[in-house]
Amino acid sequence: MPDWTLTSTDVIAPGRRIVRRLGGGGAHEAFLVEVAGPVPRAVAKLPRPHLADDAHCLLRLQIEGCALQRLAHPGIPLHLDTVLSGEHPHLLLEHAPGPNLRAALLGGARLTVPLIAALGAALARALAHIAAAGWVHLDVKPSNIVLNARPRLVDFELARPLADAARLRHAIGTWSYMSPEQRRAGEADGGTVGPGADVFSLAASLHEALAGRMLTSPAVPSSATLRGPVGALVAHALAPDAGDRPTALELADGLAEWADDQPSPTGMAAATVVPPPGGLSTRSSPFIAATRS
């Protein structure tokens, strides 16, 4: 796979200068960029160098940009621009400072149950908005959840309109967080991939935060750790049959009852995170840093 040659001070478009790399996957990489205008910093999502002129990759980038434009919501990064031509095609997105949930857990953060409930409620409301708009995310997982005073669900590269998701003929997403029907897409008895798949994936992510480990099976939550009302709600959302799971809105309402005193996303800045000895390497997330003041 070709190495990136972009470094700080490189310009990807007029008025858009690389600050540092944020992360990425096999096809794309995300960079923090300084931009000219009212928003001083943003995130640029670029195809890897060998895919910069790949027609399929550019089409997926265009579809992702269109999805983000249609899905404007406080729990989703704001779409700022889509550039499909030139040396560095990219999406330009709102920058939400903070670590992703995966990095926080790997760093040893122990999130309290009320905080996990508040986080889950905020993300479930974003999923309810996505479903109401006729879309499905298809890759909800801890590394796509940004911990911020207003948590964000990121990376809509695999997002599909519901009609397209229902016609999937193969599994797409991240295997460890896929619902049973998402894993069996295209099989005669595999079921239909829809909003319930996102509910399952969110529940799998919350299970990881509660239990400290991933699911051992796509339909077997850890009964030893998913205790109490929040654990019961998460277990319900992990039902093997999509029809037995709560809707995203039902999950949000249920979790909000057990969240901190202020279950809204803006109230999470005051929630408790217990950092490991030596602290967290999180670049001062408001979601975490507020607990140290």
Sequence-distant (6+) residues with CB within 8 A of 124 are 199, 202, 248, 249, 251, 252, 255
The yes-or-no answer on residue 139 being catalytic is: yes
Q: Could you state, in order of their start, the residue ranges of all structural domains in the chain?
A: 11-94, 101-292
C-alpha distances out from residue 75 to 21, 71, 130, 150, 164, Å: 23, 10, 10, 7, 23
100-136 in b/e form (b: 16+ CB < 10 A) is: bbbbbbebebebebbbbbbbbbbbbbbbbbbbeeebb
Give residue 287's pLDDT.
Answer: 41
Per CATH, domain 101-292 is 1.10.510.10 = yes
Domain topology for 11-94: Phosphorylase Kinase; domain 1 (3.30.200)
Percent of the chain whose predicted confidence (pLDDT) is above 90: 67
Q: Identify the DSSP state of 192.
A: -
Q: Where are the beta strands (DSSP E) in 87-240?
A: 90-94, 110-111, 135-136, 145-146, 152-153, 160-161
Residue with tokens 């979601």: 287
Sequence-distant (6+) residues with CB within 8 A of 60 are 157
Of 3, 139, 198, 244, the catalytic one is 139
Give residue 132's pLDDT.
Answer: 97
**CA–CA separation, 181 and 172 (whole Å):** 11
pTM metric for this prediction: 0.85
Inform me whether the pLDDT recorded for 88 exceeds 80.
yes
- Strand duo 16-24 + 11-13: pairing: antiparallel
Count the residues in the chain: 293
**CA–CA separation, 116 and 151 (whole Å):** 11
**CA–CA separation, 101 and 105 (whole Å):** 6
Neighbouring C-alpha atoms within 13 Å toward the C-beta of 221: 28
Using one digit for the tens of pLDDT, what is the confidence trace for 171-224?
Answer: 999 999 999 999 999 787 778 999 999 999 999 999 999 988 887 665 556 555
Give residue 260's pLDDT.
Answer: 74
Residues β-bridged to residue 46:
29
Give residue 177's pLDDT.
Answer: 95
Closest residue by Cα to residue 195 from 140, 253, 265, 255? 140
Using one digit for the tens of pLDDT, what is the confidence trace for 101-150?
Answer: 999 999 998 889 999 999 999 999 999 999 999 999 999 999 999 999 89
CB 89 within 8 A of CB 234: no
Concatenate the DSSP letters of all residues of 42-100 into one string: EEEEEE-GGGTT-HHHHHHHHHHHHHHHHT--TTSPPEEEEE-SSSS-EEEEE---S-B
Give residue 189's pLDDT.
Answer: 75
